[in-house]
Amino acid sequence: MSFGIFLYRPPGSGRVDRKAFRAALQRWGWDGSAGFPYHVGTSTGITVEVYASALEDHGRFGSCSLEVRGFDTELCRLVLDLTRAGRFEISSDADSEAVILTDESQRAEVWAGCPRVMVCSTPEELEAALTGGFEVWQAYRDRVCSPPGDRAPAKRGAAPARGGKKASRGTLPPRRRGRCAFAFGPYEGDVMAGSFTWGRFRFQVELGDWESDLARTFHEDLQDDAFDLRLTGTGKVPDLGGAPIASWLLARLAGLTDDRLGLAGVEDADGGGYMVEFVVYLVPADLGSQKATLVQPLLFDLDELGPYVQPERPVASFQFQAGMEGAAVVGQRDTDCPAEEILEELAAALLAAAAELMPRELAVRDPEWKLDPGMYRPRPVKGSCNWYGWDGSQFLGKDNIREAE
C-alpha cells in the first residue's frame, strides 16, 4: 500500500517535453530501461514508482502518478523536479481536491471552482503542504492493513461470469486503495464526491456496506453481470479501437462526475479491473409552480411558504465493476424500486452523450498475477499494470492482461 502523488497537465495546457521528463527521471536514478513503473529514489533511501504509460507512446502525455512509502524533504525535492520538468500540477492522496503549483503563472490553468490552490516553490514548502496528509494516510494504512494471509474476502464478490467461465469478472479487493478511501472518509456529508441525475434517480458516489443496506431496508438484489452488453447492444458506444469497454466507461463516468469517483491513479484490485460504489437516491417530482391549496387565516399564509418538497431518499446501493471481462452492477435495492428501472436509467445516462468524455487514466495491479502468471495473457511480469481510460485521443488497455482462454 503506497501514498499517491499525482502530476498532471490540464487539457489544453500544452504538451509535456518528454525528453526533459526522462532527464529528470535519470537525475533520480532511473537506469533508462524500458517499461514502467520507472524506479527512482532519493539519497535518504525512499523509493518511488513512477507510472507514466504515455511517456513511451505517441499520444498525449499529460499525467503520471508517483507511488511512495516514505516522506521527507528529499522526496519533495524529487517531486518538484519531476513536476517542473513537465510543468505539471500536483495533487495527492492527502487531499484530492487541493491543487499545488510550482509557479504562480500556472494559476490560470487550474480548473474552475477548485477549492484549494497553493504555490510551493521549494521542497520545504511542499513538505509542509503534504506532511499532515501523509501522516493521516500512514495512520490509515497501519489501521487497515494486515498480513496478506489474514485478509478477509470481500463482502460483495464478483458478479457471476458468463457462459460457465471461471468467475473472474469484477473481482475486487476487500478494501479499495484510493483517494476516497482515506482522503475524505466514506463520503459522509462530503460535497466532493461526484454524482449525476437521470430520470427519477440521482447516482451518488458513496461507499456502501451490508449493514447500511440492511438499515435502509435494501433486501432485494440489484444485479446485471452483463451490463456492458446492455450498452453495446444499442450501437451507441464509440469505436474503442480494441480497448476494453471499461476504458470508455471510466472516461464517461469521469465526465459525468467531474472525476470525483474515489479512484486514485493506481489501484490494487483482484481481477485487474476497477470498482466505483454508488448509492441511488430517488429524486422527488418537480412540483414546478404548484401552490399550496390550504388556507391559514390566523398567523400566516401557507400559500406564501410554497409547496412542501419531499427530501431525496436512498433506494439502492451498488458496486459498478469494470475490467477486461466487461462491466457489471452488483448491489441491493429497496423492494419498492424496480431493478430494471435503475439499470435502464444508469445505461441511459451513460449513453445520452457517449462522446462527452473526460481524459482519465487509471493503472490497476492484480495481486493474483504473481501467484500463477501462466494463467494470463500476456504473461504478467514485475511492474505489470492494466491501463484503463482515455488520454484525450485514444482509449487505453488494448494490450491489457487477461485470463488465458
pLDDT above 90 as % of the chain: 49
13-22, 169-178, 249-258: segment of lowest average pLDDT: 169-178
In the chain, how many domains are there? Answer: 2
Which domain does 102 fall in, by range? 3-144
Is 209 a member of any domain?
Answer: yes
Side-chain-facing half-sphere of 316: CA atoms under 13 Å: 30
Q: Which residue has the higher pLDDT, 216 or 318?
A: 318
Q: Are 281 and 314 in contact (CB under 8 A)?
A: yes
Confidence grade of residue 209 (pLDDT, cut at 50, 70, 90): low
Mean of the per-residue pLDDT values for the chain?
80
Contact 179, 270 (CB under 8 A): no
State yes or no: pLDDT of 233 exceeds 80.
yes
Question: Are both 249 and 309 inside the same structural domain?
Answer: yes
**Given this model, what pLDDT does residue 161 score?**
33
Please count the residues of the chain. 405
**Which pLDDT tens digit goes with each residue over 386-396?**
999 999 999 99
Return the bridge partners of 191, or none: none
Quote the CA–CA distance of 263 and 364 in Å, as a whole number: 11
* Dihedral sign (CA 245, 250, 256, 261): positive
**Does residue 156 fall inside a structural domain?**
no
Task: Look at residues 88, 112, 144 and tell me which one is the last residue of a structural domain.
Answer: 144
pLDDT range class, residue 291, cuts 50, 70, 90: very low
Residue that wins the pLDDT comparison between 364 and 289: 364
112 with 209, same domain: the answer is no
Q: How many CB atoms lie within 10 A of CB 167?
A: 15
C-alpha–C-alpha distance, residues 5 and 83, integer Å: 11
- Above 80 in pLDDT, residue 10? no
Residues 241 and 365 grouped into a single domain: yes
350 lies in some domain: yes
Residue from 328, 339, 335, 290 nearest 310 by CA: 290
Would you state the pLDDT for residue 270?
80
Say what the pTM is: 0.54
Residue with the larger pLDDT of the pair 290 and 352 = 352
**342 in the same domain as 227:** yes
Res 165 pLDDT > 80: no
- Can you give 76-116 as a three-state secondary structure string? HHHHHHHHHHHCCEEEECCEEEEEEECCHHHHHHCCCCCCE
Instruction: Check whether residue 76 and residue 27 sit in a common domain.
Output: yes
In a domain? residue 150 = no
CATH of the domain at 12: 3.30.310
Domain final position from 144, 177, 212: 144
Is 164 or 389 the better-scoring residue by pLDDT? 389
Between 212 and 87, residue with greater pLDDT: 87
- Shared-domain flag, residues 192 and 220: yes
Residues 127 and 167 in one domain: no
pLDDT tens-digit profile of 260-281?
A: 998 888 888 888 999 999 999 9
Q: Are 291 and 303 in contact (CB under 8 A)?
A: yes
Angle between helices 245-257 and 339-351 (to 10 degrees): 90
Q: Kindly state the average pLDDT of the residues 69-89.
A: 94
Mean pLDDT across 61-70: 86
User: Do residues 85 and 188 share a domain?
Assistant: no
Q: What is the mean pLDDT of residues 29-57?
A: 86
Residue 318 in grid coordinates = 451498488
Q: Looking at the predicted structure, is the pLDDT value of residue 109 above 60?
A: yes
Region of 270 please: left (phi>0), alpha (psi -120 to 50) or beta. beta
The answer on 315 and 178 residing in a single domain is yes
81: how many CB neighbours lie within 10 A of its CB? 18
d(CA 200, CA 216) in angstroms, rounded, equals 18
Q: Is residue 287 part of a domain?
A: yes
- List all residues 6 or more positions away from 38 whose beta carbon is below 8 Å from its beta carbon: 25, 30, 49, 50, 52, 55
